[in-house]
Amino acid sequence: MAEYLPVDLSSLKTDTKVGCDLYLLVKSGADSRYILYCRGDAIFESNKREMLLGKNISRLFITKEDQQKYYEYLENNFQSIISDTKLSSDEKTKIVHGAATNIVKDLFNDPRSGSIERTKTFAYNMVDYVLKDTSAAQSLLKIAVHEYYTYTHCVNVAAVGTLFAKDLGLEDKDLKGLCSGILLHDVGKTKISTDILNKKGKLTKEEFEEIKKHPELGAEVLDETGTEFKEERIITLQHHENYDGSGYPYGLAKNEIHPSGKIARIIDVYDALTTKRSYADAIRPFAALLEMRNNMLNCFDNELFKEFIQFLGPYDPRKKPRKTDKWST
């Protein structure tokens, strides 16, 4: 028996083909059933939307096996969706986060050149969304998924990292490179055994040595595309470098680490601590910051970490970005 998933009516653009069948949930007494409302190869016309709105119906359903097609539809119609003034920031953010998670999930299932280019394109669109919608920041900060999967982790880190960098005053072009780089930062894990990645409990020394290879493996994956990924390559290689030189893979220290690498290091740790992992429960944001300050401060640029704490304090999207000299390297 088919399993059905709800989709917001607001995510469906009129005069488009969604690519998957849309169903209406009809309840009659104690019984309920799903009735085909619009075929995937048919145009979703405005009168179909108006009929639903007239009956106060705000969502339709798709089969679970068509979820991939639905996310591809969102991705292909991204610009028109985020430009729709009828959609709230929260509705847009759900669409952005869902589509981004699906893209990164696809990337980890098949990290070929096409998947990487697709991820980069979406990152650029995601930054456009953040820059266009002043309420996007608060919505993105609220929606972070609290179960740790490599792909949801990449999306969370990209969202928070982009917002933090915007707050610091990073230029639009550089914001896009940063967002793309963070979405791709863990791509090297596709070359590491899932038994190690998903292991519950402490890793052995040998297993940790395998994990430590993922920054360089990620750079190899990017290089294999034959496309230049300057910012993405830097972040992929440097997101485990520590400010005191104790990190990996190269033991870089202080200003040997690119500003984007320093940001990625802070956000990477923060998200890992505040999401539930296979070997540890999530902790509250304030407790995570205390843990980072008390036991991990050697990992971070101290001034940048203070900026991050200030950024996480009541976030006001209307405040002016703070220009810093940290982007001069």
Per-residue pLDDT tens over the stretch 252-286? 999 999 999 999 999 999 988 988 766 677 788 88
- For the chain, the first-to-last Cα distance in angstroms comes to 58
State the Cα–Cα distance between residues 264 and 258, nearest whole angstrom.
10
Q: Quick one: pLDDT at residue 325? A: 56
How many other β-carbons are positioned within 10 Å of the β-carbon of residue 195? Answer: 8
- The residue type found at 221 is V
- Threshold 0.75, pTM exceeds: yes
* Of the candidate ranges 4-18, 77-91, 128-142, 158-172, the one whose mean pLDDT is the lowest: 128-142
Q: Which residues pair with 23 in a beta bridge?
A: 36, 61
Q: What b/e readout covers 79-99, taking b as 16+ CB neighbours within 10 angstroms?
A: eebbebeebebebbbbbbbbb
The mean pLDDT of 36-52, rounded to a whole number, is: 93
Q: What is the DSSP letter of 135?
A: T
- Res. 326 pLDDT band, cuts 50 70 90: low
pLDDT at 7 over 70: yes
Non-local (6+) Cβ contacts of 267 within 8 A are 157, 160, 161, 164, 182, 308
Tokens of 14: 């009129």
Q: What is the DSSP letter of 38?
A: E
Task: List domains and CATH numbers for the chain.
Answer: 1-67 (no CATH), 77-312 (1.10.3210.10)
The mean pLDDT of 103-116, rounded to a whole number, is: 84
* Of the candidate ranges 5-9, 150-154, 223-227, the one whose mean pLDDT is the lowest: 150-154
Helix (H) or strand (E) holding 195: helix 194-197
Non-local (6+) Cβ contacts of 31 within 8 A are none
State the Cα–Cα distance between residues 323 and 327, nearest whole angstrom.
9
**Residue with tokens 């750079």, as numbered in its chain:** 219
Strands 59-63 and 43-44: unpaired
State the Cα–Cα distance between residues 283 and 198, nearest whole angstrom.
19
pLDDT at 328 over 60: no
Tokens of 55: 């009956």
Q: Are 142 and 314 in contact (CB under 8 A)?
A: no
Rg (CA), the chain: 21
Q: Quick one: pLDDT at residue 91? A: 82
Which tens digits make up the pLDDT trace of 111-142? 877 889 889 988 998 898 888 777 776 777 77
Which tens digits make up the pLDDT trace of 242-251? 999 999 999 9
Q: Are 9 and 52 in contact (CB under 8 A)?
A: yes
State the Cα–Cα distance between residues 179 and 125, nearest whole angstrom.
10
Which tens digits make up the pLDDT trace of 159-194? 889 999 999 999 888 999 999 999 999 999 999 998
User: ∠ CA 317-150-19 to the nearest 5 degrees?
Assistant: 80
Average pLDDT of the chain? 86
Sequence-separated contacts (24+) of 293-298 with Cβ below 8 Å: 296/269, 298/242, 298/243, 298/244, 298/246
Q: Which residue has the higher pLDDT, 290 or 13?
A: 290
- The residue type found at 227 is T
The percent of residues above 70 in pLDDT, for the chain, comes to 91
Which tens digits make up the pLDDT trace of 60-77? 999 999 998 998 898 888
Tokens of 96: 């952005």
